[in-house]
Amino acid sequence: MKVEGSGHGMDSPEEEPGTVGVAVIGAGYWGPNLIRNVLSNDRCELRWVCDLDTVRAAKVLGRRSPVRITADVNDVLNDPEVQAVVIATPSSTHRRLGLAALNAGKHVLMEKPLATTVEEGEELVAAAAANNRILMCDFTFCYTPVVQRLRSMINDGDFGELLFIDSTRVNLGLIQNDIDVFWDLGPHDLSILDFILPEENRPISVSASGADPLRSGQACVGFMSLQLGGGAIAHVNLSWLSPTKIRTTVVSGAKRTAIWDDLKVGARLSLYDAGVGMVAYRTGDIVTPAIPEREALGSVINELVTCIETGRTPATDGHAGLRVLRVLEAAGRSVASGSTAIPLEF
């Protein structure tokens, strides 16, 4: 995978290649997926699972597991054999746990979103730089074969001039009590856009609107329109209130359009060799490329270990996490101001 984003001063490898000692904090809904992928990676040793609910952690690991369980994060941070901490706790805890881990000299893989404000994200990025540690975000979709294909197609100019991107991520619940739908589902689409778009096409402004028709106290439906550098536009439709799950992204260019339906296992990506030019419509073949099916989280853990071993910057580093936070914060300001377009600066 090509590396991008700003470096953070890790010019030379520090760790010897070998087994990387890992701890996972948070064994709720998402943590078990990370735990499974750390356990199945030959280059890692899972040393701890930390959760305030130790019974839950024990259930995830099973009775015969030699992996230690604790409710006290200090057990993890005081273990010199732990090089990397994977944090899969609610986003309100990311800043505190992330800073504690980085300041204890651990590399961090942080679940999305990186933090709950840009300011908190900046603190995490600064702590990673000050401690010369890796700060990586688990932007899981960026590690899927489809998203990697879209990124290389865009970078290779296969779409021609980019016209629009339209992404729908809707399903029923879970209505979260600490974050709204923008902060829950939005990081997926925003991290995908950040990953696939060249720097010159990154969002330059966002306008957003949200609704809470059930009066849950959070926006449960949200729309974001992002003006992209170069003249294209991206639209993101997010909802916890849709009875059917839809995960569809359209990437349209002057030469070609891609439709990614993530629920169509085995045929997720369709490429339409058709478009609309200045003078005429053009129709052509529809191709479904053979794209391997593999679990993205396996690649996430591989990326973490490779970056620890080689000192290179992760493809989804803290700066990528911070760019996503900047859009989310601006989207919140736009909702509050009646959908005004808020300029973005990265």
Ligand X SMILES: NC(=O)c1ccc[n+]([C@@H]2O[C@H](COP(=O)([O-])OP(=O)(O)OC[C@H]3O[C@@H](n4cnc5c(N)ncnc54)[C@H](O)[C@@H]3O)[C@@H](O)[C@H]2O)c1
Binding residues for ligand X (CB under 6 A): 25-31, 50-53, 56, 73, 88-91, 93, 111-112, 138, 140
CB of 9 to ligand X, least distance (A): 26
Cα 146 from Cα 291, distance rounded (Å): 7
DSSP state of 337: T
CB of 112 to ligand X, least distance (A): 5
The residue (of 177 and 244) whose beta carbon lies closer to ligand X is 177
The residue (of 112 and 151) whose beta carbon lies closer to ligand X is 112
The residue (of 138 and 317) whose beta carbon lies closer to ligand X is 138
Q: Taking CB positions, which residue lies at the least distance from ligand X?
A: 28
Residues with Cβ within 8 Å of 167's Cβ and at least 6 positions away in sequence, in order, are 189, 192, 234, 235, 236, 237, 248, 249, 250
CB of 344 to ligand X, least distance (A): 22
The pair of structure tokens assigned to 29 is: 């809904």
Sign of the CA dihedral running 86, 92, 93, 95? positive
Angle at 127 between CA 122 and CA 131, to 5 degrees: 155
The residue (of 248 and 310) whose beta carbon lies closer to ligand X is 248
Instruction: With CA atoms as reference, report the closest residue to 322 among 34, 98, 12, 71.
Output: 98
DSSP state of 313: P
275-276 vs 281-282, strand pairing mode: antiparallel
DSSP secondary structure letters along 219-273: --EEEEEEEETTS-EEEEEEESEEEEEEEEEEEEESS-EEEEETTSTT--EEEE-
CB of 94 to ligand X, least distance (A): 7
Contact 253, 159 (CB under 8 A): yes
CB of 75 to ligand X, least distance (A): 11
CB of 114 to ligand X, least distance (A): 9
CB of 96 to ligand X, least distance (A): 8
Q: Residue 288 is inside which H or E element, if any?
A: none
Instruction: With CA atoms as reference, report the closest residue to 161 among 219, 232, 238, 57.
Output: 232
The residue (of 144 and 313) whose beta carbon lies closer to ligand X is 144
The residue (of 146 and 153) whose beta carbon lies closer to ligand X is 146
The residue (of 48 and 159) whose beta carbon lies closer to ligand X is 48
Taking CA atoms, 243 is separated from 125, 174, 221, 240, in Å, by: 38, 12, 13, 9
CB of 187 to ligand X, least distance (A): 7
Cα 85 from Cα 50, distance rounded (Å): 10
The residue (of 90 and 311) whose beta carbon lies closer to ligand X is 90
CB of 195 to ligand X, least distance (A): 14
DSSP secondary structure letters along 36-71: HHHHT-TTEEEEEEE-S-HHHHHHHH-TT--SEEES
Contact 38, 49 (CB under 8 A): no
The residue (of 28 and 289) whose beta carbon lies closer to ligand X is 28
